[in-house]
Structure 1
Amino acid sequence: MFKKLFSLVAVVLLCTAFSIPDKVVKKADKEITKFFEIEHFEKQTISVSKAINTATVSEFGAENLFKIVKEGTLLGYGYIGNAASKTATFDYLVLFDTDFIITKTKVLVYREEYGGEISSKRWLRQFEGASPASDELQYNQDIIPISGATISVQSMTRAVNNLLKSIAVLQKKSVI
């Protein structure tokens, strides 16, 4: 009985995990416009098959991995993700250059009373320059802890590391 209930909950969570709220998409688009200093751009979704998606740690679906294109020119890539905080989740954006080197990270929506310091531009800059070829980012070594935001800091660090590992899988399988 417990296994069936757990399986049902897991399926429901997976199905709902692929939905990106409009509010989050709008914030991501605003951030992309600001970062690339452009008014108009096109997001071209990168489709990842279910088989390849199961080989990655990050989830790809609901148009959360995309190319950023202006007038036929590739500017970079973007990923919208969701990670756990103490009692809720937060949505984040990772922007990459054309070589999949992180150029910007941004917490789009943080849903907790405490730990919002992970939204700080200064703190988020620690992820810039990381790539699938980089060593894994280490909490309390590469990534500075924040008092009162330990869970969110560790979660964001894990999410970025998982994304970089997943991008490496997609590159190896010639998806991107």
Structure 2
Amino acid sequence: MIWVRYTLPAATIVSIASPAYAVRYLSIEEAQKEAFPSATHFSEVQEGRVWKAEAGSKVMGFFVFDRVVGKHLFIDYAVALTPAGAVHKVEILEYRESYGGEIRSPSWLAQFVGKTNGSALKINGDIRNISGATLSSTHVTEGVKRILATYGSRVR
């Protein structure tokens, strides 16, 4: 039982020194309503991933949920697309890294608005980098670019 005397305190220190940083900012439903406040209905187009936002019979746009790795952990985010396939809004739903949460900044996320499948979407190009969150910035940017390539030309 001598091992308990040494390993238990070490395990306690490690668990205290590595706190969980996951922050859930928005649920999918909350993000949908923020992206399309006048929508009266969201119909699932692809299970758990893509929804069509409608107000009556009018299509307001499309809402796409995705997940990328930041530096080590997942970032859940969503991209709202206009009916023509351009970015209407990007939201960070859950951020799990211990640093780099600045990617949730409204001014950083606003850079994506209006981008289309033909946009460069490149860090230090048309999207500015965030120092200390380079991998998170890069991976979210690449994710938005992938969503535009996948859905941007198909939503019309």
TM-score, scaled relative to structure 1: 0.68
Indicate whether 1:148 and 2:132 are aligned. Answer: yes
Give the CA deviation at 1:70.
Answer: 2.3
* Higher RCO structure (Cα 8 Å, ≥6 apart): 2
Q: Which residue of 47, 57, 64 maps to 1:79? A: 64
Equivalent pairs counted in the alignment come to 133
User: Structure 2: any 5+ residue segments left out of the alignment?
Assistant: 1-23
Is the Cα contact below 8 Å between 2:35 and 2:80 reproduced in 1? no
Matches of 2:120 and 2:50 in 1, distance apart?
21
Secondary structure at the counterpart of residue 87 of structure 1:
coil
Q: Is the 8 A contact 2:65 2:78 kept in 1?
A: yes
Q: Which structure 2 residues correspond to residues 1-176 of structure 1 after superposition, within 5 A?
A: 27-38=27-38, 41-47=40-46, 62-132=47-117, 134-168=118-152, 171=154
Higher Rg:
2
Shift of 1:42: 1.9
1:52-71 Cα deviation digits (max 9, x unpaired) = xxxxxxxxxx3311211122
Larger helix fraction of residues: 1
Please, which runs of 5 or more residues in structure 1 have no aligned partner? 1-22, 48-61
The 1-side partners of 2:34 and 2:119 are apart by: 29
Per-residue displacement from partner, 1:122-159 (whole Å, max 9, x unpaired)?
10011110112x23211111111111101100101110
- 2:20 corresponds to: none
Aligned-pair identity in percent equals 28
Cα RMSD after superposing both structures: 2.1
Q: Which has a greater percent of strand?
A: 2
Which aligned segments of 4 or more residues in structure 1 are displaced greater than 6 angstroms? none
Q: TM-score, normalised by structure 2?
A: 0.76
Whole-Å Cα distance in 2 between the matches of residues 154 and 34 of structure 1? 24
The corresponding residue for 1:50 is: none
SS at 2:107's partner residue? helix
